[in-house]
Amino acid sequence: MSSNYSQPIGIFDSGIGGLTVAHAVTRLLPDESIIYFGDTAHAPWGDKSSAAIQAYSIKICDMLLKQGCKLILIARNSASLVAYVLVKEYVGRKSIVVDVIDPMIEYLAKNYIDKTIGLIGTKQTINSNIYRKKLDELGINIRLNTLSTPLLVPLIEEGFKDQTIMSDAIQSYLNESSLHNLDALVLGCTHYPLIKPQIKQFYSDATVIIDSTDIVAQVVRNILKERKLLAASSTSPKKKFYVSDYTPAFSALAHLFFKMPIILEKYPLWE
């Protein structure tokens, strides 16, 4: 791979959820340029087939490779689940590929042996049982209690994150007995850091809330450092945001995160 340190980091998701990952990466690595792609035309991916998500992911990776990305981060659990292996094969040695599930597994294996962990996520992520399978492969003894929380993403995307309807949904889900008496709760969807304060409030600091975005950003930093690909502090970082279809909600949320005017460039995956 002939990457150099000044090349950008590519980050993609079906829409706005991956902005939480992009924000964590830029907070930890302020000198890095990023190119973010939100596939808003096909969002949400949670109810799409594996074949469709794989096709979208390959198309997006094509675009990010053309932009010279030194690392491509799949900022979505469902895409990490069904497209990571294919994307790695497709990208080959042209770029480094990182997903959002494996860094979490490594973190849990290092810090939570013999503990009870809760995991909330979309139906696709929870039904796949991917976290349990990966922990079992490592032979790690962690009691994992999972719950599908399908209402949370649409409520966030529709702008209800600070309203009573969201509080009611969170309370209803977290009151499930399987999510009581936990050592930690994993936010298994990149949208969920946006409602982390409400989730923390529910547990009153009795349970650690594990935000995968910070852990993934740390893994990205470690990989780039190891390969001597960290951007120099003299680099003038650029942030570019592409969407496959323009949505005002995406623009507003991107602006909220990055505290700067966000210019969205439309890049349809298929004409």
Asked if 183 and 208 touch (Cβ cutoff 8 Å), the reply is yes
Q: What is the pLDDT of residue 141?
A: 93
pLDDT, mean of residues 62-88 = 95
Burial of 234 (0-12, 13-18, 19+ CB in 10 A): exposed
d(CA 106, CA 232): 28
Q: What is the pLDDT of residue 157?
A: 80
- List all residues 6 or more positions away from 38 whose beta carbon is below 8 Å from its beta carbon: 12, 13, 14, 15, 16, 18, 19, 241, 242, 243, 244, 250
d(CA 178, CA 174): 9
Name the average pLDDT for the chain: 92
d(CA 9, CA 26): 10
Is the pLDDT reported for residue 1 higher than 70? no
Is the pLDDT reported for residue 46 higher than 70? yes
d(CA 169, CA 31): 38
Q: 234-261: per-residue pLDDT in tens?
A: 778 999 999 999 887 788 778 777 777 7
Asked if 105 and 216 touch (Cβ cutoff 8 Å), the reply is no
Q: What is the pLDDT of residue 249?
A: 77
Q: Can you say whether the dihedral through the CA atoms of 87, 20, 16, 195 is positive or negative? A: positive
How many residues does this entry show for the chain?
271
d(CA 264, CA 243): 7
Is the pLDDT reported for residue 3 higher than 90? no
Percent of the chain at pLDDT exceeding 90: 73
Question: For 81, left (φ over 0), alpha (ψ -120 to 50), or beta?
Answer: alpha
Q: Which residue has the higher pLDDT, 246 or 29?
A: 29
pLDDT, mean of residues 261-268 = 87
Q: What is the pLDDT of residue 68?
A: 96
- pTM comes to 0.93
d(CA 141, CA 138): 9
pLDDT, mean of residues 213-228 = 96
